[in-house]
Amino acid sequence: MKYYILALSVLILDQVTKWLVVTKMNLNQQIPIIERVFYLTSHRNKGAAFGILQGQMWLFFIVTAFVVAFVVYYLTKYASQSKLLGVSLGLVLGGAIGNFIDRLFRGEVVDFIDVYIFTYDFAIFNVADMALVVGVGLLMIQIFLEDRNARESK
């Protein structure tokens, strides 16, 4: 249950921040938070990460439905065995649903976190994207740890 609460928290934070961007900023407006490092930039994305697969909404709906079903199954069946697995899946679930809601109701995803790494302008992203990336990263660590433990027990 606590991992569903994590997913819901991610979802709420994601949707509230996107709502603020949509209602308080003009499209493409940029607000410097830390000059030459971090900006809030109102951006829309009709594709996936880094703008790939523009306009392929049907594909995103199908993939998201499978991801959500997979995550709910694993949360229900295995999350009680590992906190790391539960947290990673909770983050993935919240992030996936957050971007799904945007695609369903807006026809595009609202992005606004704009980070410069030295002179490189990284792709603009949102809270759901962060949750997905961190969740998948933690899931990879979980898989690595399980694999290592399985080899050590042999």
Task: Report the interhelical angle of 83-106 vs 57-78 (nearest 10°).
Answer: 150
Catalytic, 129? Answer yes
Model confidence over 106-121: pLDDT tens digits? 999 999 999 999 889 9
Given the residues 14, 102, 114, 129, the one annotated as active site: 129
pTM of the model: 0.91
Catalytic, 111? Answer yes
Model confidence over 41-81: pLDDT tens digits? 999 998 776 666 666 778 888 999 999 999 999 999 999 99
Domain boundaries, the chain: 1-147
3-state helix, strand, coil in the chain (%, to 5): 65, 15, 20
Given the residues 111, 114, 121, 147, the one annotated as active site: 111
Task: Report the interhelical angle of 83-106 vs 2-24 (nearest 10°).
Answer: 30
CA distances from 56 to 10, 59, 79, 108, 148 (A): 25, 6, 32, 10, 38
